[in-house]
Amino acid sequence: MSSALARRLELLNKRYDGAAPRDILRGMIHDEFPGRVALVSSFGAESAALLHLISEIDRSAPVVFLDTGKLFGETKKYRDQLIDLLGLTGVRSVKPDPVALAARDPKGVLWSQNPDACCALRKVEPLERALAPFDAWFTGRKAFQAATRATLPVFEIENGRIKINPIVRWTKTDLDAYFTAHDLPHHPLEADGYLSIGCMPCTSRVEPGEDARAGRWRGSDKVECGIHLPAGQTPARAEP
């Protein structure tokens, strides 16, 4: 971490200490990183709240959507629905490199053999390319989603960029109230028990009492795709 970036992080933490999510978003988009900050959204469960907040500040703000080639059809339909409903004009769908796919996952079954390598190929590496023009990015992570996210800060540094979690302190009650107040549609798979929705082969229903993310990579020790990892942990790479 560069000393300049560390100072920037310290300044942001002081300037926005206790700020509401809307004020954080507005400050980042208009003052701190104008034209240099993007939202990365899965358009999955809970995504509509942060997308709605963004739309109230700048409907043309860049939104990165990772189209892994393994998503539920319902997710793509939900993406299109929210783009139309919220008037979002900055959404860009990013796909894996077709040459890399052909070389590393020619049969499309890497997810069953090495899920870390599959996530690296289909999510981590495409996101690195998509974020190249930006100095900062927003995530929709919340502390209540899983024990591994319970202590997340609002501002982080990762790979030379500021990473911002503007609604990290929202509770499930806060989130539900926001959906109700703004009449936001839910992802169609939520009603069927899918509370955290990623790629189809690696997502299952969540049982009562489980963490919202318990249905991701069920039966394995894997808890994140590699886009979000604990400090100091390096994401896996797909080998050619």
How does pLDDT run across 6-50, given as a tens digit for each residue? 999 999 999 999 999 999 999 999 999 999 999 999 999 999 999
Q: What share of the chain is helix, strand, coil (3-state, %, to 5)?
A: 40, 10, 50
Residue 161: partners with Cβ closer than 8 Å, 6 or more residues away: 131, 134, 135, 136, 137
Residue 233 lies in a domain: no
Residue 235 lies in a domain: no
CATH number for the domain harbouring residue 108:
3.40.50.620
Catalytic residue among 118, 119, 199, 225: 225
Residue 85 lies in a domain: yes
Residue 240 lies in a domain: no
**Whole-angstrom distance, CA of residue 151 vs CA of residue 234:** 19
Residues of the chain with pLDDT below 70 are 1, 146, 229-240
Please state, in angstroms and as integers, the Cα–Cα distance from residue 108 to each residue in 70, 184, 227, following that order: 9, 34, 20
Compute the half-sphere exposure of residue 94: CA atoms within 13 Å on the CB side of its CA.
23
**Where do runs of H (alpha helix) occur along the chain?**
3-15, 21-26, 47-57, 73-86, 98-104, 110-113, 115-119, 125-130, 172-181
* pLDDT given at position 235: 44
* pLDDT given at position 240: 38
Residue 238 lies in a domain: no
pTM for this model (two decimals): 0.90
Phi (first) and psi of residue 132, to 5 degrees: -50, -40
Handedness of CA 226, 89, 101, 74 (dihedral sign): positive
**Whole-angstrom distance, CA of residue 14 vs CA of residue 52:** 26
Whether residue 225 lies in the annotated active site? yes
Give the chain's domain count.
Answer: 1
* pLDDT given at position 1: 65
* pLDDT given at position 237: 46
DSSP code, position 104: H
**Whole-angstrom distance, CA of residue 186 vs CA of residue 82:** 10
Residue 169 lies in a domain: yes
Residue 24 lies in a domain: yes
Angle between helices 73-86 and 47-57 in degrees, nearest 10: 30
The answer to whether 123 and 97 have CB atoms below 8 angstroms apart is no
Range(s) of the domain holding residue 94: 3-202
Residue 153 lies in a domain: yes
Residue 41: partners with Cβ closer than 8 Å, 6 or more residues away: 47, 50, 51, 63, 64, 65, 140
